Structure 1
């Protein structure tokens, strides 16, 4: 499948974006209106005046063609599955996405990948986003665990591994912003204070999302940031690369991250 030409879908249905979601219902157990609300919560666009101009800019940058090449290289590197990649505009009303992530977001499920992007994104940024999200897809396919059985530790390590993949391809200049929220020593303290005794919390619970995102009284992006440092520490002590780590389970990666034991 690879990168799908979503340009004409957006041109035709820019003012009625829920109609685009009809094309995605085979991937989600939702009706198209409910699916649109869900995808908006993950970063999909809501129409604005003259918003179609964004599509023109993305086309001029040859975003679809360049990411199609990146996808091909990623598949070869990670030996991953061939799934559809849907590129859509991001939500200009979503403050977090616009301010924190420079107007871009991604969503990976087992059989499809969504990139929500804006005209301000560089090709380098978008390649790094695709690398991060496609790594999730490969991880899901490599591990035996069903997604509903994931624990907070599984999710944290998955996020850390995806950023390790970005680092190996592009260095640290295209890391997600949460990578730099805490130093390694701070991450170790946060691990022992908030996560060590909760690492079996199930993905299907609100507690999982609170720990991962740092909601309420938890430090922001707690699980993401600590997961990154766990993977980094594992790599520092083992010298394993992304390919070696891809099928390794989260508990083994944590065990190899010896700085987090003390």
Structure 2
């Protein structure tokens, strides 16, 4: 379990004049089938601060505000609680021109892959919110590990429950103030309208590519991140009324359909 600070790589690029390919080798080696251009296109889409002369100071400034030792201590504690996998975590400074991440995600973004996690955040993000992001993404890695899911097998319901459970754990370990902004959007009445109108009939769809628009919203007139917030409301509704005392490990292994209770109960069951 290790946190890799990408800013140290880039400082080597600036100071020792290492090539970008050599500088980013610890990441590129994780998916060797991807070209350097493909990797950087993806990283920039996810929020990477560009590596160029004009951003050199921003990389240095971001580096000064990272307490890697404390982040590693925290995530190892979560590994013990979740009994999760050994997962490399690579952290990056956020491009402050990435409006969507700044406005909708409060200046932080993360992606969990099998075996590693990528995390991006703005320089001014408080350390506790850095931990919240890492906890959220490592919880994903742990749930995938315990449930044996992958990108092709995972259902829409499972993806929604994953998002909801991860934020439930953020609230439990770090406090509700440090939850993602989307967990505080939209009221129950609006969510139930979308659930009954659209979501309930698609929850068994498999493969994240088949339901991306439902999970992230922004299409079919669905508000942004409605699938995420529905997942949190389903989890919160079930656990608040039924199993709030269950430990984190039990919740990680709990089947997604068992969370469908109260107003989200499927009258005819899941087949």
TM-score where L is the length of structure 1:
0.90
Structure 1 residue matching 2:175: 3-state secondary structure: helix
Contact in 2 for aligned 1:151/1:201 (Cα 8 Å): yes
Structure 2 residue matching 1:116: 3-state secondary structure: strand
Does the C-alpha gap of structure 1 residues 244 and 154 become closer, same or farther in structure 2, counting only changes over 3 Å?
same
1:43 corresponds, among 33, 38, 47, to 47
2:178 corresponds, among 169, 174, 181, to 174
Task: Check if 1:119 corresponds to 2:147.
Answer: no
1:258 corresponds to: 262
CA distance in 2, matches of 1:46, 1:228: 33
- The Cα RMSD (Å) is 2.2
Does the C-alpha gap of structure 1 residues 203 and 190 become closer, same or farther in structure 2, counting only changes over 3 Å?
same
Of the two, which has the highest radius of gyration? 2
Contact in 1 for aligned 2:50/2:95 (Cα 8 Å): yes
C-alpha displacement of 1:172: 0.7
Task: Check if 1:213 corresponds to 2:208.
Answer: no
CA distance in 2, matches of 1:150, 1:260: 20
TM-score where L is the length of structure 2:
0.87
Structure 2 residue matching 1:148: 3-state secondary structure: coil
Q: Kindly report structure 1 stretches of 4+ aligned residues shifted beyond 6 Å.
A: none
Number of matched residues? 259
Does the C-alpha gap of structure 1 residues 201 and 237 become closer, same or farther in structure 2, counting only changes over 3 Å?
same
1:153 corresponds to: 157
Question: Which whole-Å deviations, capped at 9, do the CAs of 1:133-170 have from their partners, x for residues lacking one?
Answer: 11011011000233311111111111001101101101
C-alpha displacement of 1:241: 4.0
Deviates more, 1:33-42 or 1:22-31: 22-31
Which stretches in structure 1 are left out of the alignment for 5+ residues?
none
